[in-house]
Chain A
Amino acid sequence: MGLINEHLVFPDQQFADNEAALRFLAGKLNAAGKVHDDFFDAVWAREQKFPTGLPAGKINVAIPHADAKYVKESAIAVATLAQPIPFHNMAVTDQEIPVSLIMMLAIHEPHGQVQVLQNVMALFQDEQHLAQLLQEHDAHALFTDLDKTLGAISLDR
């Protein structure tokens, strides 16, 4: 089974702020049995200390994540946002950037996931593809695209 799961892909979401968005995605990962109960707390603590907003050109993305010990089974939860919400910039942490795509990475064994992580980064460098993903309003279609783009093969377990 791939890292992308049809039930963990959420197009056109609206959140008051990034904390609400991360709480939502972490809750979905937890409900799917992918992470431990304290995953959100770990992600949020980390986000405040080491933010994960990535300036990727016109469309910015965020890759919130936490230490592998909070993860039961590797998975990626994805939300596209109807309205961008501010995240702090990973490289310039006092700067806020408007983020339109959140990919919450629950990674159990990072070295087994290098290819998928590289595919995630390659996607972020493809502005046209990112724009296309934001236009996708159907969860199944968004899932199909992401699953194909990121590769369906998971190497861990």
Chain B
Amino acid sequence: MKKILVACGAGVVTSTIAIQKLQEELDKRGVPKDEYKIDQASIPEVPSMADNYDLVITTTQYTNPNGKPVTNGLPFLTNIGLDQTMDEIIKHLDLKPTK
């Protein structure tokens, strides 16, 4: 089970949109739902939470002080470069798309 944390400035608006889109894209690729879990946070919460996650996605520019790689989640809002971002996420988490 891979754990994904999606964060934005306030942990309210853009992370909600990004999670919805990420979920849709994972479904579209046929990644089984029991392979991953997605949680939501605000940026200020990320440093204390990041160690418990395999991947952190933020919709705003952010460098994780813990040194864990952070994926730019802007493509989930704009669709620009979304397929590439999804490929990277799937590869990074070693998920198994069936479609």
Contact = CB atoms under 8 A, between A and B. Distances in A.
Interface of A: 46, 49-51, 54-57, 63, 65-68, 90-93, 105, 107, 110-111, 113-114, 117-118, 121, 124-125
Contact of A124 (B12, B21, B78): B78
Contacts of B9: 46, 49-50
Given A90-B60, A125-B78, 13 more contacts: A49-B9, A50-B60, A54-B77, A57-B80, A63-B13, A63-B14, A65-B12, A90-B61, A90-B77, A91-B74, A93-B61, A107-B12, A114-B20
Interface of B: 8-10, 12-14, 16-17, 20-21, 43, 59-61, 72, 74, 77-80
A93 B17 CA distance: 20
Contact of A46 (B10, B16, B17, B79): B10
B56 to A, nearest CB: 15
Contacts of B10: 46, 50, 65-67
A108 to B, nearest CB: 10
Contact of A91 (B16, B17, B61): B61
A26 B72 CA distance: 29
Contacts of A114: 16-17, 20
Contacts of B80: 55, 57
B12 A110 contact: yes
20 contacts: A46-B10, A49-B9, A50-B10, A50-B43, A50-B60, A51-B60, A54-B77, A54-B78, A55-B78, A55-B80, A65-B13, A66-B10, A68-B12, A91-B61, A91-B72, A93-B60, A105-B13, A110-B12, A117-B20, A124-B77
Contacts of A113: 16
B8 A50 contact: yes
Contacts of A124: 77-78
